[in-house]
Structure 1
Amino acid sequence: MVEHLTFINFGNEEIEDKKVDLIDKIKAFNNHIPGVIDAQAGENFKEGFDFGISIRFKDKKSFEEYIPHPKHQEVASLLREMEMSDFTVVDFEF
């Protein structure tokens, strides 16, 4: 399995309405992207990054196919629209 974690800060404070849409789109990965076992996202309630995303894949091949998938690209576009100012990604296999 592969775990893909993304932690994000946003540069724009006026994006609250878009966060709900973002979370819904990410959770929909479970139903629309082959090889996704689980996809979760939400706002951080402690200090640190503003937002977190966790996506679990059945294997590395599924993860590699996820990157160009149109549903992933739709979320990437939304994140740019939301003025993602800083992010870090951690990917590991277990």
Structure 2
Amino acid sequence: MKATSVQHIVLFKFKPETTPEKVKEIVAAFEALPSKIKEIKDFKWGTNNSPENLNKGLTHAFILTFDNEKDRDAYLPHPAHKEFGSVVGAWLADVTVVDFTDQAK
């Protein structure tokens, strides 16, 4: 990971009526974004397995890596990202997004 790389962390809490099939469809649509948006350098995701019970109902975590803030800023209004937002939006009870540039020495 480059020192200037940006980590874009997205956490989803789905509405109770969201079926497992719909969740799979949403995850697949998110997984497809790196093939549509060249600025995404890495993509990881998983479901919460923390025993601390501090997830506040957020169950799915996604981490996208960008080389820099400029690339992240190009991703945000990208048509493929906007299209994904329209797919997932109606099914979310909550979403949290945090971006950071690695400050570790």
**TM-score, L = length of structure 2:** 0.76
Deviation of residue 5 (structure 1)? 0.3
Alignment partner of 1:77 is 2:64: no
Where structure 2 has 5 or more consecutive residues not aligned to the other structure, the ranges are none
Identity over aligned pairs, percent = 27
3-state SS of the aligned residue for 1:12?
coil
Contact preservation (8 Å) 1:26, 1:41: no
| Aligned residue-pair number | 93
- How far apart are the structure 1 equivalents of 2:37 and 2:18? 30
What is the 5 A alignment of 1:38-49? 38-46=42-50, 47=53, 48=55, 49=58
Alignment partner of 1:66 is 2:38: no
What is the 5 A alignment of 1:18-57? 18-46=22-50, 47=53, 48=55, 49-57=58-66
The AA in structure 1 aligned to 2:38 is P
Where structure 1 has 5 or more consecutive residues not aligned to the other structure, the ranges are none
Deviation of residue 92 (structure 1)? 0.5
Structure ID, larger Rg: 2
**TM-score, L = length of structure 1:** 0.83
